[in-house]
Amino acid sequence: MTSTAAIADLPLQAGDPDEARTARLRAANINPRTGLATDYLNHFNEAIMLLDMIPDMPECASDFLEWRPLSYAEHFIASNFKARDLAIEAYETADAQIRAEFDHLTGDMTRILTEVGAAMRRVQLDETRVTLARQAIVWVKPLVMQTAGVINGAAEADVDTIMAAG
């Protein structure tokens, strides 16, 4: 019998039956409908966690300033995610519209965090860094939630719910 980890390690192949592809993606914690994994959000949640510490411990600003943006592929290449090759491959073959929405949101988060980091480097006052950290959290947290919705196919689920109610 094949383990779920072994199934997840198998590469996607053109012409795979949908059922086999779905099983591999699910085993790897990749949404089979979107081809995306929520694990990538850990990259942004790490930055939020570091920003969240700054109001109580302003010296943590230096920890946030060490955070570097990573693309989806870069994140998985650098991670211990078991099925990282599958995650990257699924992302590359994801529906163009879903991927465009996902890339737009993650691009916005990356820009905000990069700009806030640049602003923090220019200022010296802890008070200003605290204000920047708090504002960044207000901007980025909702984007993380929206991105999670894209990853989890929330828009598709809403349509399914509406159609089922009709």
Asked if 32 contacts 13 with a C-beta cutoff of 8 angstroms, the reply is no
How many angstroms separate the CA atoms of 143 and 35, rounded? Answer: 19
Cα–Cα separations (whole angstroms), residue 73 to 27, 32, 118, 143, 160:
19, 18, 24, 20, 30
Asked if 157 contacts 38 with a C-beta cutoff of 8 angstroms, the reply is no
pLDDT at res. 155: 58
Asked if 67 contacts 53 with a C-beta cutoff of 8 angstroms, the reply is no
Asked if 85 contacts 11 with a C-beta cutoff of 8 angstroms, the reply is yes
- Residue 162 clears pLDDT 70, i.e. is over it: no
Record the pTM. 0.81
Where residue 17 falls among pLDDT bands split at 50, 70, 90? low
pLDDT tens digits for range 102-120: 999 999 999 999 999 999 9
